[in-house]
Structure 1
Amino acid sequence: MTKERKEFFEWLKAIALAVIIAVIIRQFLFSTVVVDGESMLPALNPFDRMIVNKAGFSLSGPERFQIVVFHASQDEDYIKRIIGLPGDSIEYKRDQLYINGRPAAEPYLEEYKKRLIDPPLTENFSLEEVTGRKRVPEGHVFVMGDNRRISKDSRHIGTVPIAEILGEAKIVYWPLPDMRIVK
Structure 2
Amino acid sequence: MRQWRSLAKEAMDRAFIVVKFLCFLHVTDSYLLSPTHVLGPSMLPTLNLTGDVVLAEHLSHRVGKLGPGDVVLVRSPFDPKKTLTKRIVAMEGDKVAFSLDPTRSHCSRSLVVPKGHVWIQGDNLYASNDSRHFGPVPYGLIKGKVLLRVWPPNSIGSLGQ
TM-score, length-scaled by structure 1 = 0.73
Q: Distance in 1 between matches of 2:37 and 2:150?
A: 10
How far is the alpha carbon of 1:5 from its aligned partner? Answer: 4.2
The 8 Å contact of residues 32 and 51 in structure 1, kept in 2 or not, is answered as yes
Alignment-mate amino acid for residue 84 of structure 2: Y
Q: Distance in 2 between matches of 1:31 and 1:49?
A: 10
The 8 Å contact of residues 142 and 158 in structure 1, kept in 2 or not, is answered as yes
Structure 1 residue aligned with 2:145, among 165, 168, 171?
A: 168
Size of the aligned set, in residue pairs, is: 151
Q: Distance in 1 between matches of 2:10 and 2:38?
A: 43
The 8 Å contact of residues 69 and 80 in structure 1, kept in 2 or not, is answered as yes
Instruction: Name the residue aligned to 1:58.
Output: 62
- Over aligned residue pairs, what C-alpha RMSD do you find? 2.2
TM-score, length-scaled by structure 2 = 0.82
> Structure 2: which 5+ runs fail to align?
none
Instruction: Name the residue aligned to 2:33.
Output: 30
Structure 2 residue aligned with 1:85, among 87, 91, 106?
A: 91
Deviations 1:89-114 (A, max 9, x none): 12269xxxxxxxxxxxxxxxxxxxxx
Deviations 1:45-79 (A, max 9, x none): 13101122111331233211100011112221110
Secondary structure of 2:133 counterpart: helix
> Structure 1: which 5+ runs fail to align?
94-120, 129-133
Instruction: Name the residue aligned to 2:72.
Output: 68
Distance change in 2, residues 1:48/1:122 (3 Å): farther
